[in-house]
Chains A and B, each alone.
Chain A
Amino acid sequence: MNYLLHISVMLEIYILLALSANQKVGLSGLLSLAQAVFYGLGAYTASITITKFEFSYWLALPIAILICVIAGLLFSFVAGKVRELYFSLATLALQIIFFSVAYNWIPVTNGSYGISGISNPEIFGLKINTPASFALFGGVWVLLVILFYVWFLKTPISRLIQATRDDQIAVLSLGKNPNYYKRISIMLSAVIAGIAGTLYATYTTYIDPSSFTLDESILILSIVLIGGAGRIIGPITGAVIYILLPELLKFLQMPDSIAANMRMILFGLLLVLIVRFKPKGLFGKYLIQ
C-alpha cells in the first residue's frame, strides 16, 4: 500500500512538472531543455530556507516562488533574443551551467553531498509525513493547478500567449508586445515547476544535484511531447505513462535490473515514434513542426 502511495506522490510531482513544461512548450511553443532548472531552484530554495533558517514550509514556499519568478524573468530574456533550435540550445547551456553551480557552490548547496534533514510540511499543526498524507497533499496541489488551467485557458491573456506562439508578427500588428506574453508564460511555468520542486524536497527530505540534470529536463520535455502539448490532458497522460511503465514491466515479471533500462528504451522509442508519426502527441492540440 505504501508503495502505491509513493508511486502516486511521484506521479503528482511529474504531473506538475509536465503541466509546467506544457505552459512553455504547448502554449508558447518554446522547446525548453531547462525545466529541471526551475524544479531544482524550487527544491533548493525550499531546502535551504527550511534547513538553514528553520522556516516552515508555508514561509519557504513563497520564497521559492519568488526566486522562480525572478529566474523566469531572467530566463525570458533568452527567449526574447533567440528562437527555435538556438533557444533549445541556449536552455541546454543554462541547464548544464545550473548543474555545475549546484554541484560546486558547496557553501550554499553542499555540492554532491546534497542537503538532508528537510522537514515535512505542516497544516494546522498536522504534520504531513506519511505517504498517504503526502499523496493527499500533492493531490490537492495537482487539483489546484488543473483548476487554474481550466480557468486560465479561457482568459484573453492565454489566447494572446497562444497567438504569440502561432504568429508573432500578427501579435505585433495588434499592438501587443510578443516578448511580454512569452515572459508571462515562462514565469508561470517557472512557478509551477518550483512548486513541484518544493514538494519533491519536502517529500524525500533529501536532495542533491543529480535530481536536476539535463536528463531530467529531457525527460520532462519528452513527457509533454508524448502526451501531447497544448491541452491539460496531454501532459497528464504523458506523466501517467512514464510513471506506470515500470509497473507494467514488473507485471510482466521483468527483473528490476532490466526494468530500469527497458523503461528508458521504451520511453525513448515512444518519443522517436511520436515525433516521426504523430507529432501532436497522443492527445495534443498544438503541432510542433
Chain B
Amino acid sequence: MITDRLKKVICETLDLRLDDVEIQDETVANQVPGWDSLNHVNVITAIEKDYNVRFKSIEILKCQNIGDLQNLVNSKVG
C-alpha cells in the first residue's frame, strides 16, 4: 500500500497533480509520467530528504516497483 506521503513526494518532484496519477504497489517507475531514467535520481533524493533517510545503492537497485520502494522506506523509518 503506497502512502499519501510517498505519493506526494513523487508527484511534487515530477510536477504532477496528485489526483492525476494512480500509483499502486505494482506500478513501475516508467508507468508514471516523467519518471524516466534521468529523473529517477531526483525522485530518490527527494524521498531521502523528505523522510530524512539514506538508502544504500544496492537497496534502490533491487526495487522492482513502487511497492518495493515503499517497503524500503518503511524499513528505514519504522
Q: Real complex partners, A and B?
A: no
Give me the interface of A with B, judged by CB distance under 8 Å. Answer: none
Give me the interface of B with A, judged by CB distance under 8 Å. Answer: none
